[in-house]
Amino acid sequence: MSPEPRQILAPDGTRHGESSLEIPAIRRLYQAMLSARVFDRKASAMQRQGRLATYSPFEGQEACQIGSAAALSPQDWVVGSYRDGGAMWLHGYTWRNLLLGRTGDERGGRTPDGVRVLPPSITVGGHMIHAVGLGWGERLQGSDGVALTLFGDGATSEGDFHEAMNFAAVFETPTVFFCQNNGWAISMPTERQTRSETIAHKAVAYGMEGVRVDGNDLLAVYEAATAAVAKARRGDGPTLIEAITFRVGPHTTADDPGRYRSEGIVAEWRERDPLERVRRYLVAQDAWDEAWQREIEEAESRAIEDIVADAEALPAFTPREIFDGMYAEPTAQLREQRAEAERG
């Protein structure tokens, strides 16, 4: 395994590899990354204004999230962590779902009909195992659906990672493990998280293919994810993809990264911004101009503002609804407790 991450687009936008994406598709995915960034910044701002609970920004990781989810078909599943809103959204979870979730409204966890996305996992790593079961369940029903699970470098230190990887390999489940190695698990740098040469190397121990990719390169992420999804769909089992990226912002809105990492590193990574890289490539291909950029920025900002207004206009979740979500039919004890709660 080469420890050098695969790259198609250099940070200056020059292409030095083959991509299966045509220019119109790249423009669509660029717009999707932009939508994700607009949402992400809006959500962070709303948290600062007291309109959302803690939020985990994904700025800097848009190529990972949009590039990986773009490789899926509607019958596939996305199971992500609290930092994977971009991938979840591209697969059909709505920004409204994500906003409601961050206000503590459980209606945020209810996906639109037919959308195969689980709510963001707040426990670190627990969801990787669900993706193994989702893939297994699809296989049992004769479907060729695949489950993509996204997680961070820190989650690979959880026992869940080991059990999920081993089980997926032994059961040959159609699961794509997509690790966004963003360098930091809150304050812990990757080199203190693992002594493996790379996270992709961990796949070897499970008899699984491990792939390392430049996570700020939309085209490289898309190719790696597409290959892994196709392999899973064929019945050739799971893949671990390690995408090297960087969380530009804090771990969550409750975190101050200035306490554990230097501004110099952040500035370095801003130079490798995943959106800017695609923009430079599109410029070189004569497929970008300022008028289009302004048009999509305005369109995405308006769309996000509309979604925020719509989510904030929703009547508040009531105690009754909490009880109704507990079981298919509430037990007698729960009915009594619901009545007690409603009496106030």
Partner 1 sequence: MAELSYRDAVSRGIAQEMRRDPNLVFLGEDVAAAGGVFKTTVGLLDEFGPIRVRDTPISEQAILGAAAGAAMTGVPVIAEIMFSDFLAVCFDLVANEIAKLRYMTDGQVSLPIVIRTANGAGSRFGAQHSQSVENWCMMIPGLKVVAPSTPEDVIGLMAASVRDPDPVVFFEHKSLMATKATIPDGEIVDELGKARTLRAGTDITIVALALMVPRAMAAADRLAEQGISAEVIDLRTLVPLDTRTILHSVERTGRLATVEENPRLCGWGAEIASLVAHEAFWNLDAPIVRITTPHIPLPAANNLEDATIPSVDKIVDTIVSEWA
Instruction: In angstroms, give the least distance from the CB of 162 to partner 1.
Output: 8
Look-up of token digits 């699984």: 208
Annotation marks residue 277 as catalytic: no
Annotation marks residue 260 as catalytic: yes
Q: Collapse the DSSP code of 250 into the 3-class scheme (helix H, G, I; strand E, B; otherwise coil) and give the result.
A: coil
Question: Among the options 6, 247, 279, 338, which is catalytic?
Answer: 247
Strand 184-185, strand 188-189: pairing = antiparallel
Contact by Cβ (8 Å): 138, 145:
yes
Residue among 172 and 276 whose Cβ is closer to partner 1: 172
Strand 188-189, strand 239-244: pairing = unpaired
Q: Collapse the DSSP code of 273 into the 3-class scheme (helix H, G, I; strand E, B; otherwise coil) and give the result.
A: coil
Instruction: In angstroms, give the least distance from the CB of 297 to partner 1.
Output: 33
Contact residues toward partner 1 (CB under 8 A) are 106-111, 118-119, 123, 126, 128-138, 140-141, 143, 145, 147, 159-160, 163-164, 166-167, 170-171, 321-322, 324-328, 331-333
Q: Collapse the DSSP code of 37 into the 3-class scheme (helix H, G, I; strand E, B; otherwise coil) and give the result.
A: helix
Look-up of token digits 């740098």: 189
Instruction: In angstroms, give the least distance from the CB of 264 to partner 1.
Output: 38
Question: Among the options 48, 110, 260, 294, which is catalytic?
Answer: 260
Residue among 2 and 333 whose Cβ is closer to partner 1: 333
Cα–Cα nearest to 146, from 52, 83, 68: 68
Contact by Cβ (8 Å): 165, 148:
no
Residue among 106 and 297 whose Cβ is closer to partner 1: 106
Instruction: In angstroms, give the least distance from the CB of 306 to partner 1.
Output: 22
Instruction: In angstroms, give the least distance from the CB of 244 to partner 1.
Output: 27
Residue among 171 and 292 whose Cβ is closer to partner 1: 171
DSSP 173: -
Residue among 44 and 239 whose Cβ is closer to partner 1: 239
Residue 330 CB burial class (10 angstroms; 0-12, 13-18, ≥19): middle
The residues annotated with a catalytic role in the active site are 247, 251, 260
